[in-house]
Amino acid sequence: MYRSHTCGELRESDIDQEVTLAGWVQKTRDKGFVVWVDLRDRYGITQLIFDEERTSQELLEQGRTLGREFVIQVKGLVIERTSKNSNIPTGGIEVLVKELRLLNSSKTPPFTIEDQTDGGEDLRMKYRYLDIRRNPVKENLIFRSKVTMEVRKYLSKEGFIEVETPYLIKSTPEGARDFVVPSRMNEGQFYALPQSPQTFKQLLMVGGMDKYFQIVKCFRDEDLRADRQPEFTQIDCEMAFVEQDDILNAFEGLTRHLLKEIKGVETTKFPRMTFDEAMAKYGNDKPDIRFGMEFGELNAIAQHKDFTIFNTAELVVGIAVPGGASYTRKEIDALVDWVRRPQVGAKGMVYVKCNEDGTFKSSVDKFYDQDDLAKWAQATGAKTGDLICVLSGNADQTRGQLSALRMEMAERLGLRKKDIFAPLWILDFPLLELDEETGRYHAMHHPFTSPKPGQMGLLETEPGKVKANAYDLVLNGNEIGGGSIRIHDKEIQSTMFRHLGFTPEEAKAQFGFLMDAFQFGAPPHGGIAFGLDRLVAILGGQETIRDFIAFPKNNSGRDVMIDAPAPIDDAQLKELNLKLDL
């Protein structure tokens, strides 16, 4: 037995016990007549003491040879600590070492294994197995495990069956590029790694499984960022014989359960908002509603004067920044420069200060009088002491720019509080979106999403106006889940493929297996998929999903620890009947 207790377990009630501990040396302190060693494992730290009055000289010298991250086993007596440490649970005791066994030595680590380390991100990713020993990373992985277990508990209690689906599948167009895998046994043919188990979970509904879930790896070959990895994990779910409300109620229940069990937060029924309303009020389809600053459209009250910039704009829209009237001219100029950055793309910004005396001071005082500006304040909900920020131009672009400004101001004002959780359902997305370069429509979600009831006829006449029977769950400005009621009728699915530009032959080649299944009594069905990595990060109060993944990739999609991806040798290429042309 390597240990009788963990390094986080012993307390003053254990004094005078003989114990066996094992772990890593966190640090040593040699005072000549006494050596202290902090021994660490997953559970905590226990201080060991080698004392020349109570320890043999040989054992004391052994203790002096211990380096950082050495793996050791000790046997000893739990004694009361003379100088107690209230910062750790074991701070009232220490272990007087009677026996020491070196299990493994260690090179000096490339960075300190401390909560506040001196290692940069690239270095820590290269030595991720060392980084995991640090409390912040360790606790994140334990936190992820806790969330995952709660998901399984809740869905199992609700009658969902966990079913695994294949990783080696057929390449199908789902929006992003597939990762492909050559088949040795089928020369010149390739598997794809699944972007999601979409068609398989629909086939499980055809198979009568009724309620399915899976915590599953998915793969997309796309550009990376802080909240995106080439491989990621979904909580993938599907239900048969359901309508939209059934899905929303079921997975609102899951989310409320997680907020209560993981964060101790009680939530009432989640608000619901249409896609069009979200775009009009917040400029994006995943609004953060922990704070206000809703958009106020100003076209009707700003396009009647001689200000050409507004008069020629498709949209004039503003937000009221709380307390912003106190900003200096220099601070406002910095805001104007911020919205002009290429990442935002605005040409400029008009501002109005709502002064304490009830008057208004604006960058366009030449064109608008006090009555005009008072109407702007009313439209944006601005109060005394606020700053109205106004953008104008193309409607879609301007909403996106003002949304970016709204989020930036909320960040600066400390309004995006990590301990507040504001969930929201977004409904009635457009079914299709037009690619202006190709003139073709693409599915906004995926080709299996059903139109809203009664809108099938619009596909032939005004496809851009058809709403999808789809929904996203948003939490604190992040989409954490999305899904839809699926098409379960072969003829409707064929019509959808036609509107997406598939010939009957292409549709059959890509999705013939699904179309065939629909001929054998496919039930009405729908589902949702949560991004587990993102959900865990939000619940954990952090921005990047990498912090909650054991072995993440960097922004170039590389695993710098194992140096992957990597070339394969000529013999492997020959076996796979592949030739590189680089």
**Which residues does the annotation place in the binding site for ATP?**
220-222, 229, 479, 531-534
Binding site per annotation, positions: 174, 220-222, 229, 445, 479, 486, 531-534
Q: Three-state SS string across 109-125, please?
A: CCCCCCCCCCCCHHHHH
Binding site per annotation, positions for L-aspartate: 174, 220, 445, 486
In angstroms, the CA 424 to CA 473 distance is 6
Chain mean position to CA 104: 38
**3-class SS of residue 483:** strand
> Cα angle vertex 413, ends 409, 416, to 5°?
85
Chain mean position to CA 212: 23
Report yes or no: 232 and 224 within 8 Å, Cβ to Cβ.
Answer: no
Q: Which of 350, 337, 343 is nearest to 401 (CA)?
A: 343
Q: Which of 501, 375, 514 is nearest to 448 (CA)?
A: 514
In angstroms, the CA 439 to CA 417 distance is 42
Report yes or no: 459 and 466 within 8 Å, Cβ to Cβ.
Answer: yes
User: Would you put residue 439 in left (φ > 0), alpha (ψ -120 to 50) or beta?
Assistant: left
Chain mean position to CA 256: 18
From residue 16, alpha-carbon distances to 5, 47, 67, 173, 273 in Å are 14, 15, 28, 67, 63
Question: For residue 167, what is the DSSP state?
Answer: S
When computed from its CA atoms, the radius of gyration of the chain, rounded to whole angstroms, is: 30
| Strands 296-297, 315-321: pairing kind | antiparallel
Q: What DSSP string runs through 326-376?
A: G--HHHHHHHHHHHHSTTT--S--EEEEE-TTS-EEETTTTT--HHHHHHH
